[in-house]
Structure 1
Amino acid sequence: MGFDLRRPFWGRSPSDELSRMSQRCGALIEEIDTPVDLESLLARVSTKCQRPIIPIGTVMPPEGPTGLLMRTPDEIVIFFSTNTSKLHQNHTVLHEIGHLIFEHRGITDLDLVRSRLMFPDIDPSVVISMLQRTAYSDEQEAEAELFASVMGMALHEWRPTQAEWIVPDNIAPVVERIQKVLGSPY
Structure 2
Amino acid sequence: MRRRARRNDRDEPPIPADPVVDECRSFVHSLDLPRVESVRDLRSYVEELIGEPIQIGPGKPAGTDTPCGMVVKSGGVNYIGYDPETSTAHQDHIIAHELGHLLKGHRGSRVSPASDDGVILGDLNTDLWATVLNRTNYAETIEREAEAIASFLQAHVTTSTSPPEPQSEAADRITRTLMRRND
Q: TM-score, normalised by structure 1?
A: 0.61
Q: Does residue 119 in structure 1 map to residue 110 in structure 2?
A: no
Mark the CA change 1:110 to 1:84 in structure 2 (over 3 Å): closer, same or farther.
Answer: farther
The more displaced of 132-141 and 27-36 is 132-141
Query: Could you report, residue by residue, the CA deviation over 1:86-112 in whole angstroms, capped at 9, with x for unpaired residues?
Result: 110000000001111111223568897
Pick aligned residue for 1:72 from 74, 88, 98 = 74
Distance in 2 (CA, whole Å) between partners of 1:113 and 1:43 is 29
Larger % of strand: which?
2
Superposition deviation, residue 154 in structure 1: 2.1
Matches within 5 A, 1:137-152: 138-152=140-154
Q: Does residue 83 in structure 1 map to residue 85 in structure 2?
A: yes
Distance in 2 (CA, whole Å) between partners of 1:58 and 1:112 is 17
Q: Which residue of 2 aligns with 1:175?
A: none
Superposition deviation, residue 85 in structure 1: 0.7
Which structure has the larger Rg over C-alpha atoms?
A: 2
Distance in 2 (CA, whole Å) between partners of 1:113 and 1:58 is 15
Matches within 5 A, 1:30-179: 30-34=29-33, 35-36=35-36, 37-60=38-61, 61-107=63-109, 114=116, 119-120=126-127, 127=129, 129-135=130-136, 138-156=140-158
| 8 A Cα contact 2:135 2:143, kept in partner | no
Unaligned runs of 5+ in 2: 1-12, 120-124, 160-183
Query: Could you report, residue by residue, the CA deviation over 1:65-86 in whole angstroms, capped at 9, with x for unpaired residues?
Result: 1001012343111010011111
Distance in 1 (CA, whole Å) between partners of 2:72 and 2:115 is 18
| 8 A Cα contact 2:96 2:153, kept in partner | yes
| 8 A Cα contact 2:53 2:78, kept in partner | yes
The more displaced of 85-94 and 64-73 is 64-73
SS of 1:51 mapped into structure 2: coil
| 8 A Cα contact 1:58 1:79, kept in partner | yes
Unaligned runs of 5+ in 1: 1-10, 158-186
| 8 A Cα contact 2:108 2:131, kept in partner | no
User: What's the C-alpha RMSD, in Å, of the aligned pairs?
Assistant: 3.2
Q: Which residue of 1 aligns with 2:27?
A: 28
Distance in 2 (CA, whole Å) between partners of 1:103 and 1:62 is 28
- Identity among equivalent positions (%) equals 22
Superposition deviation, residue 22 in structure 1: 2.0
Give the aligned length.
Answer: 139
2:102 maps to amino acid: L
